[in-house]
Homo-oligomer: A and B are copies of this chain.
Amino acid sequence: MRTKLMVPGPVDVDEEVLLEMARPMEAHYGQGWAKLHWETVEMAKEVFLTRNDLFVIVGSGTAAIEAAIGSSIGGARPLVVVNGGFGERLLSVAGSYMPAVEALRLPDDGPIPPEAVDEALRRDPGIGMVAVVHCETMTSVLNPIKEIGEVCRRHDVLFMVDAVSTLGGAELRTDEWGIDLCATGSQKCLGAPPGLGLVSVSERAWRVISEGNVPGWYLNLNVWRDYAKRWEDWHPFPITMAVPAFKALKKSLEMILEEGIEATWERHRRASALLREGIRRLGLGTFVPDEWASPTVTSIIPPEGIPPERIVEHVERKHRIRLAGGIGKYEGKVFRVGHMGPAAKESRMAEVLWAVEDALSELRR
């Protein structure tokens, strides 16, 4: 009996998707591959809800994030809005290209107020880009991307979103919400194995990127665009593509589009609602109230006197379900359930709840 993975990424991958990983190798170039490449990119655009350019980079979600930030930072000084650990990561990435990046640090137990972003942009008219995380997986706080996007449009600055732990699971409308640079990874709500980062790039972002001085080659979006055009029919990317991961991504995108992107969001919403309700019925607390909670991950406060690690350990040992502990300042304070991609099912939530209830009664003895 294998362990079910319910951490906030990577997620359990559907068998059909996994099988794509084990097919005999093929070359990552030629007319056949180029066709498969562009079909996959078009499907990814449908899931992103964008008509912008989109690139699939061999790398983690952070590679896609760095491609977005590193490529535009030369022409658009960033304001990084931080309300958790992955916001700090955005700041590290931006700070590696430029000293003294502007940071707006906000409490991590609630979402970013759009007014705070508005105010920061008023204070410093030299800002050219706002970068935020959609869902902070450490706390499960979901930030109001749509409203922050409206602020960015009013100030006419680029809007970069780290959607690694939401895209494909929580409502996210790249074009409608004015997201110029949207980055995610293959291994969370997209339901594919880890190894690929995806990033979409608006025309507004291209105007900055193509004129800025972009350091680096591998994550330089100008290089990716150049190959996509010059080698469109043969090798539309600058490097050796991760063939199996790419084919797996194609399959998982097909499955999402077959279900429908709004139906996929709804499935995540229903699964997370069931989990949150059940958790409270067990007498435990959720770290954030429902109105700020991501439908993709839930951070749970254990009862007084029971360390969260012991719940995680019991659930894995006895029920073969792997949950995640807290990290950073939340170590020893919370445990977390990921409900992303194929794992975002009510039946899976029932299994988790039953296992947690069992852990509690065992540990209370």
Interface residues of chain A, those whose CB is within 8 Å of chain B, are 2-3, 5, 7, 9-13, 18-19, 21-28, 58-63, 66, 70, 92-93, 96-97, 185, 187, 193-195, 214-220, 238-245, 322, 324
Contacts and interface: CB of A to CB of B under 8 A. Distances in A.
B245 A93 contact: no
A10 B194 contact: no
B18 A24 contact: yes
Contact of A60 (B24, B58, B60, B96): B58
A26 B3 contact: yes
A267 to B, nearest CB: 19
B218 A215 contact: no
Contact of A18 (B22, B61, B63, B215): B22
Q: Which of A2, A60, A245 has the most CB of B within 10 A?
A: A60
A134 B214 CA distance: 28
A96 B215 contact: yes
A193 B70 CA distance: 28
A24 B10 contact: no
B215 A28 contact: no
Contact of A194 (B19, B216, B241): B241
A62 B239 contact: yes
Contacts of A9: 240
Given A58-B195, A215-B97, A220-B96, A187 B240 contact: yes
Nearest to A187: B240
A136 to B, nearest CB: 16
B218 A59 contact: yes
A63 B220 CA distance: 12
Nearest to A185: B240
A181 to B, nearest CB: 15
30 contacts: A5-B25, A5-B26, A12-B24, A13-B24, A18-B21, A19-B22, A28-B194, A58-B58, A58-B59, A58-B60, A58-B63, A59-B63, A62-B217, A62-B239, A62-B240, A66-B216, A70-B216, A93-B218, A96-B216, A96-B217, A97-B216, A193-B243, A193-B244, A194-B243, A195-B195, A195-B244, A195-B245, A218-B219, A242-B242, A242-B245
A278 to B, nearest CB: 23
Nearest to A11: B25
Nearest to A26: B5
A10 to B, nearest CB: 5
A326 to B, nearest CB: 14
A11 B27 CA distance: 8
B25 A239 contact: no
B27 A217 contact: no
A193 B218 CA distance: 19
B93 A242 contact: no
A263 to B, nearest CB: 23
A194 B242 CA distance: 5
Contacts of A70: 216
Nearest to A62: B239
Contacts of A7: 27
Q: Which of A19, A22, A24, A187 has the most CB of B within 10 A?
A: A22
Contact of A216 (B26, B27, B28, B215): B215
